């Protein structure tokens, strides 16, 4: 077996150091910055080649010039060689080398900051329109008539109310968007309180500049009662920054641009355009609209999420009714068609027009007042019965005489 040889290189200076992996092995490397004739020395890569011949096995260390150092992409692999009796004076048991296969290395490219990802377009129509339900107009008009007698939370504390305390049109639009973002998974009463606290925390007006300049803790404290308030704190701050950077600190005018903002979905986008810009391009469908239209049997088969509901409704409901149906059904769902325990006995559609109406008749609200006395308890006992719920209370002795006078006068 021939001894290990390293061809002399006139362009590089070698530096030896002991191998950290075995005490009998010495490693050689080029001195950093070594030059010959004003030119930088080329890096030498070592490759171990095992040659098979008729005689004993031999190892040769080949050198290859490389223009640039390339980082290893695989875990170091151990190459073990067993020496023969004819091995030279330098004996060793194993040599460790790093084999870099740069030709197969895959470089992951990061997206450029100057070219942001294009937002996914929001579908606006179905490939096959959903047929209009029979007698839907009569049902719609009946709900609308019942809504005139109902004052729901959405009527006084809905997202459209947030703009009323702002004077600048730009701030009115932004306050509407913020209110919509906070309203997700939150009751209108809680959202309205959070918007008021946020306005106070920002100095009396909800503006893009004030929200960016405000401390995150101050924003979080103001909206801490809404659902998912930690996430929404991040969303509204990031949205304010996006509006300042990309939309001249104003609310965008398209659904796709609105949905590209953090925490803004299709329902918020359609409602924001209707309230902030008076632009009607679709229906804002929330859990109330999704629940009630399915209870009415307007979707065949029933829809599984609000987006399916929106596309079905937009395919047959007249465009002129798109801005009103959300507000009408949300209030109807908050007071009458409740998620649990709907008040079907008080709904006009329970006459057979609603397939989901409960068959239980409404209990009559009767009130009965009885007075009685007993030998053990001389004081009169007052018994009140309201809807099969009885409450009893005993009248004290000091009230007995006025009662007796009334009875005697009445007789």
* Active site positions, annotated: 267
Residue 301: cis peptide before it, omega within 30 degrees of 0: yes
| φ/ψ of residue 330, rounded to 5 | -65, -50
- Crossing angle of helices 287-295 and 306-316, in 10° steps, is 60
- Under DSSP, the state recorded for 203 is T
Q: ∠160-162-166 over CA atoms, to 5°?
A: 120
Instruction: Give the alpha-carbon dihedral of 279, 282, 287, 293, to 10 degrees.
Output: 130
- Nearest C-alpha neighbor of 268 from the set 206, 260, 161, 192: 260
Mapping DSSP to helix (H, G, I), strand (E, B) and coil, where does residue 196 land?
helix
| φ/ψ of residue 380, rounded to 5 | -70, 150
Q: What are the structure tokens assigned to 3, written together?
A: 């001894």
Percent of residues in the chain assigned helix, strand, coil, to nearest 5: 40, 15, 45
Q: How far apart are CA 401 and CA 376, in angstroms?
A: 18
Q: Kind of pairing, strands 77-80 and 94-97?
A: antiparallel
**175 neighbors 158 (Cβ within 8 angstroms):** no
Cβ neighbours of residue 50 under 8 Å, at least 6 residues apart? 57, 58, 59, 79, 81
**207 neighbors 174 (Cβ within 8 angstroms):** yes
Which residue's structure tokens are 């719609």?
A: 140
Handedness of CA 168, 169, 170, 174 (dihedral sign): positive
């Amino acid at each position: 077996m021939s001894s290990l040889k390293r061809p002399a290189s006139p362009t590089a200076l070698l530096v030896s150091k002991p191998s950290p992996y075995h005490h009998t092995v010495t490693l050689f490397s080029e001195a950093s910055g070594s030059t010959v004739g004003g030119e930088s020395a080329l890096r030498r890569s070592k490759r171990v080649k095992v040659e098979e011949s008729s005689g004993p096995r031999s190892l040769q260390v080949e050198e290859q010039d490389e223009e640039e150092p390339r980082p290893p992409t695989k875990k170091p692999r151990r190459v073990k060689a067993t020496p023969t009796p004819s091995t030279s004076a330098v004996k060793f048991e194993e040599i460790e080398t790093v084999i870099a296969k740069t030709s197969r290395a895959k470089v992951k490219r990061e997206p450029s900051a100057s070219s942001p990802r294009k937002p996914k377009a929001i579908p606006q129509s179905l490939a096959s329109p959903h047929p209009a339900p029979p007698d839907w107009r009569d049902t719609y008009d009946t709900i609308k008539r019942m809504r005139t007698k109902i004052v729901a939370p959405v009527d006084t504390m809905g997202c459209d109310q947030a703009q009323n305390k702002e004077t600048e049109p730009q701030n009115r639009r932004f306050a509407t968007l913020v209110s919509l973002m906070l309203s997700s998974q939150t009751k209108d009463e809680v959202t309205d309180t959070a918007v008021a606290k946020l306005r106070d925390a920002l100095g009396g007006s909800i503006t893009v500049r004030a929200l960016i300049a405000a401390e995150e803790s101050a924003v979080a404290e103001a909206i801490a009662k809404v659902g998912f308030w930690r996430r929404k704190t991040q969303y509204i701050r990031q949205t304010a920054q996006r509006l300042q950077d990309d939309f001249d600190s104003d609310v965008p005018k398209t659904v796709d641009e609105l949905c590209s903002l953090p925490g803004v979905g299709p329902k918020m986008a359609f409602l924001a355009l209707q309230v902030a810009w008076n632009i009607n391009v679709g229906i804002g469908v929330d859990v109330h609209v999704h629940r009630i239209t399915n209870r009415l049997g307007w979707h065949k088969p029933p829809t599984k999420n609000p987006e399916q509901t929106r596309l079905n409704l937009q395919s047959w409901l007249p465009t002129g009714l798109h801005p009103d149906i959300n507000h009408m059904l949300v209030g109807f769902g908050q007071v009458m068609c409740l998620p649990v325990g709907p008040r079907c006995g008080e709904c006009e559609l329970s006459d057979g027009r609603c397939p989901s109406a409960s068959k239980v008749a409404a209990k009559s609200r009767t009130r009965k007042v009885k007075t009685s006395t007993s030998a053990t308890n001389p004081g009169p006992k007052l018994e009140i019965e309201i809807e099969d719920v009885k409450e009893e209370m005993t009248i004290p002795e000091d009230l007995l005489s006025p009662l007796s006078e009334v009875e005697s006068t009445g007789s």
